[in-house]
Amino acid sequence: MKVYGTNDLRNIALISHQGAGKTSLVEAMLFNLGVINRMGDVQQGTTVSDYDDEEIRRGLSLSTTLIAVEKDGLKLNLLDTPGYTDFQGDVKNAVRVSDTAVLLIDASSGVEVGSELYWNDAIENDLPVVVVLSKMDRDNVRPENIVARLHEVMGVRMVPVQVPIFEQGNFVGVVDLLSMKAYRGNAKPAADIPADLSDAIEVARMELIESAAESEDSLLEKYFEVGELTDEELWQGMIAGMRTRTFVPVLYTSGTANQGVVALVDFLSRVAPSPAERIQLFSGTKAGETVELSASDSGPLVLYVFKSTADPFVGSLTYFRIVSGSLKADARYFNHNQGEEERFGSLLAMRGKEQFPIDTMHAGDIGAIAKLSKTVTGDTLGDKGTPIILSQPEFPVPVYSVAVLPATQADSAKMGPTLTRLCAEDTTLQWRQDKATREAVLEGMGDVHVDVAVKRAAQLGVNLTTAIPKVPYQETVSKTYATEYRHKKQSGGAGQFAEVHLRVEPLGSGEGFEFVSEVVGGAISSSYLPSVEKGIKSVMDTGVIAGYPVVDVKAVVYDGKEHPVDSKDIAFQIAGREVFKKAFAGAGPVLLEPIMNIRITVPEANMGDVIGDLSSRRGQVQGTESLPGRIVVIAQVPHAEMLRYSNDLRSFTQGRGVYTMEFSHYQPVPAHIQEEIIAKAKIAAEEE
C-alpha cells in the first residue's frame, strides 16, 4: 500500500444499532474494489472485519476494525464499529478519529434506540452524516416510512439521493439522482432507468435539487433565477448541505446481496471530506492552555490513540490517528500521558488482521504500530518538546459488574496487573477492590462486555471465575444508646484490665465517624483514649450486624476505670472494640443500601413493561420524557435489584432498550429484607 497525503485520505466510521449489517456492507465494498475475490459471511466467521476468535464464535463485532482500502487515488480508512451497546465506548473513540459517519439503518427494522445513540455520537463530534438504509432485500421494506421516521427522530431533513429499484418484489439496484444512472450489482452504472420509476425519480430529484440549492445562498439565487442547477452545482450543494447538516443524504444498500454498494462507495469518495476539511478541530492542552489542531504536516506531531490491544502471540497493537504533523517509521516519540518515550518500528496500514508496513504517514491518516510498551487507549504521543495532550470523549459509566476471583494461586499474583491492563485498553471497563464487600469487582457496559474481558484475561494467561457481586451495604444506628464493658484477664503473670463506658449516637448522612471524650476526673487516662478509638475503628470496617462498614456514627466515651498495674494499651483496645459492638447493637442498628439513578430509553410500546418491572424491583419512577417514538423512564432503584438488569432489559425489549445508571444515595433497607441479609451473613460467618 502506498503513502497517501492528507488531501487523499477519507476517514469513515460505519455506525449503527446491532445487526444492521455494517460488517456485511464492508465485505461487499472489499469485493467490489477487488480486494477480495469472494464475499465472506458473518455467521460462518469468514469476514475480513470479524477475525477475532470470540467474534467468530458469537457472530458479533466486539471491537472496531480498521479497514484501509484504495480507490481512484484515494485511501479510505473504514472503521467498522460494533453495534452492540455493550461496546459503545469503542464507537465513541472510532467516531472521534473519523471525518464522516455512515449511519446504517436496518430497512426491515427501522430506527432503533441504538440508532439514535450513535447518531448523537456523530453530532457531538460535529461530523457530516450519511444515512444508509441497509438490508433492502428483506421482505416488506418501506423505505419512505423510515426516511420520514428518521426526520422525526433525528430532527434533520433527510433527503434521498437515490431511488431504489425493485423487480418482482426484489431489490435489484438504485437510480442515482446525481448522475441519473442506474447501479445494479457490481456492474458499471448505466442509463437503463426503469420507465415505471420516472415519476418517482422526478419528484425525488426535484427535492434533492431544492435541498442542494438551499445549502448555499449563491446556489439558491441561481435556482430562483434559472430553476435548475448544473451537475457540478448540484454536487457543490450536496457537499455543503451534508457538511453543515442542513440535510442528510439517504442511500439504499444490501450488503449480502451486493446491491447499491458500488453507488455508495462512489458517493462517499466524492462527498466525504478529507482530514484537512474536518469541520471540528481537535483540541487539547499544552502547558495548561487550550490548543486547537488541524490536519497539516507543518503542525506539531500529535497522535491520538483510539484503540490498543494485547495479544499473547503477536504482541500489542496500538491504533492511532495522526492529528497533526507527519510520522516516520523507525523513530522515537514521546507519550505525554505516561511521561515515557516509545520506539516506533514499522508503521502499519491495517485491513482487518492484515498488515501493510509503510515508512511514512501524513497528517490525518489512521494506522497502527506494534509492540509499544507503555501506551494505552486515550494517550497522546508526539515530540517531547511539544507536550500537547488531547482531550478524550466522555464515556458512559459502567452499569454491569461481576465479582472476580483467581482460578488458581498462580493466577492470584497476575490478576491485578492483567485487569489493569485490560481496563487501560478499554476505557469503559473498570475494576476495583470494593472496601465494603472485600471483593475484586469488574465493571463494564453489559454481560457480553464483561464476559469478553474475562476471556481476554484467559488469553493473557490469567484464568478468572466470576460471581454476582455482593451489594455494598453499610451499617449505621438510628438512636442513641449507652452501655459499658469491662475487660479483665488474669493468667498468672501481668494481667489486663480496662473498663469503658460508651454512648453511641447517629450522625447525619455522609458525616462519617466522630470520636469524643467526655471523661472527667481522670477515670481513664488521656493516653488510653487513642487505644479505645483504635479498638472501635477495628470494628467499623468489618461491621457489627452483617459484616459491612459502619458509617455516620458518633462514639462518646463518658466514663470508665483503669488499674495502676494491669491497664495497658491492648486492654483498652479490646474494651473499646467490645463496648462499641454492645452499644451499636442497642442503638437500633440499620442496614443502608445504595440507591441508583436510572434513565431507561425504550420504544413507546415497552413503557408499560419497564415501569411494571421497576415496581417489582422496589423502584420509584421519578418521571418520564417523551422523544419521537421513544420514552425515557427516570427512576431510583436499589442497587441490589439492578445487578443483572442489562440482561432483563435486553430480553423484554428485544435488545431495543438502553439505560444509564449512577449512584444517588444510601437509604435504610426495609426491615424484612434487612432480617434476611443479617440471617444470611450469620450463616456465612458460621461456615467460615
Quickly list H helices, 426-504. 447-459
What is 475-587's CATH topology? Ribosomal Protein S5; domain 2 (3.30.230)
Residue range 641-661: average pLDDT? 87
Residue range 257-269: average pLDDT? 97
Instruction: Flag whether pLDDT at 321 surpasses 60.
Output: yes
Percent of the chain whose pLDDT exceeds 70: 98
Encode pLDDT of 107-156 as tens digits.
999 998 889 889 999 999 999 999 999 999 999 899 999 999 999 889 89
Question: Interior CA angle at 316 toward 313 and 322, to 5°?
Answer: 145
CATH code at 6-277? 3.40.50.300
Judged by DSSP in three states, 172 sits in strand
Instruction: Flag whether pLDDT at 44 surpasses 60.
Output: yes
Average pLDDT score, the chain: 92
Phi, psi of 423 (to 5 degrees): -70, -30
pLDDT at 359: 94
Tell me whether domains 400-462 and 592-672 share a fold.
yes
For residues 598 and 637, the answer to whether their CB atoms sit within 8 Å is yes
CA distances from 638 to 37, 194, 395, 661 (A): 55, 61, 23, 11
Q: How confident is the model at residue 282 (pLDDT cuts 50, 70, 90)?
A: confident
Nearest to 86 by CA among 51, 50, 59, 61: 61
For residues 21 and 135, the answer to whether their CB atoms sit within 8 Å is yes
Which residue reads 435489484 in cell numbers? 172
Q: How confident is the model at residue 336 (pLDDT cuts 50, 70, 90)?
A: very high
* H or E, element range at 672: helix 671-687
What the block records as the C-alpha cell of 472 is 455494598
Side chain identity at residue 496, one-letter code: Q
Instruction: Flag whether pLDDT at 313 surpasses 70.
Output: no
Instruction: Flag whether pLDDT at 573 surpasses 80.
Output: yes
Judged by DSSP in three states, 414 sits in helix
CATH code at 400-462? 3.30.70.870
- Please give the DSSP secondary-structure letter assigned to residue 647: H
pLDDT at 545: 94
Encode pLDDT of 373-404 as tens digits.
899 999 999 999 889 999 888 898 899 999 99
Instruction: Flag whether pLDDT at 586 surpasses 90.
Output: yes
pLDDT at 68: 97
pLDDT at 315: 65
Instruction: Flag whether pLDDT at 491 surpasses 80.
Output: no
Domain ranges of the chain: 6-277, 282-390, 400-462, 475-587, 592-672
Number of Cβ within a 10 Å radius of residue 406: 19
* H or E, element range at 531: helix 529-540
- Could you give the count of Cα atoms lying within 13 Å of 355 in the half-sphere of its Cβ? 13
**The pairing of beta strand 553-561 with beta strand 513-517:** parallel
pLDDT at 628: 77
- 251's CB contacts (< 8 A; 6+ apart) are 130, 131, 132, 133, 160, 161, 162, 174, 260, 263, 264, 267
CATH class of 282-390: mainly beta
Encode pLDDT of 187-202 as tens digits.
999 988 888 999 999 9
What the block records as the C-alpha cell of 500 is 469503658
Residue range 543-559: average pLDDT? 95
For residues 202 and 187, the answer to whether their CB atoms sit within 8 Å is no
- 376's CB contacts (< 8 A; 6+ apart) are 305, 308, 338, 424, 425
What the block records as the C-alpha cell of 235 is 454536487
pTM of the model: 0.88
Instruction: Flag whether pLDDT at 277 surpasses 80.
Output: yes
Name which of 72-81, 282-291, 422-431, 481-490 the model is least confident about. 282-291
pLDDT at 203: 94
Question: Interior CA angle at 155 toward 636 and 98, to 5°?
Answer: 90
pLDDT at 143: 94
Task: Give the distance between the most distant pair of CA atoms in the chain.
Answer: 115
For residues 624 and 607, the answer to whether their CB atoms sit within 8 Å is yes
Judged by DSSP in three states, 614 sits in helix
CATH code at 592-672? 3.30.70.240
